[in-house]
Amino acid sequence: MMDVNEIRQYLPHRYPLLLVDRVVELVEGESIVAYKNVSINEEVFNGHFPDFPVFPGVMILEALAQASGILGFKTVDKKPKDGSIYLFAGIDDVRFKRQVIPGDRLQLESRIISSKRGIWKFACKATVDGELVAAATILCADRKV
């Protein structure tokens, strides 16, 4: 549904921190399904860990937040170029269930729980090949830049 060129219109992130490669499903006001292809060429593997590459949990959470940000922006028909940005406001109920390694396709799913006064709450989960990797409730704040 959205390739990386369109994704870049809805996220201010750029290399090496753009963590959404494609959006495959998006229902405005409801949910998004996107993915990130994890490659051994990721800069993060130079230090995490060179002899046992594991994609960091914090990067998985960031990828989920970016997918959530796309959903939020599309829902209200805004883009970062309009002077708005989504910032982390909180993360609750985080659980990691499986490691993510090079070669994995990380599926990112986010569903809107609520939106009040620019604070968005999302139910998120990440999977690889249908197996749960991580789940969290993410809060994002829509702020002017």
* Terminal alpha carbon distance of the chain: 28
Coil/strand/helix, residue 130: coil
Cα 8 from Cα 25, distance rounded (Å): 17
Q: Which residues contact 59 (CB under 8 A, 6 or more apart)?
A: 19, 44
Catalytic residue among 48, 79, 98, 125: 48
Distance CA 121, CA 137 (A): 7
- Catalytic, 13? Answer no
Catalytic positions are 48
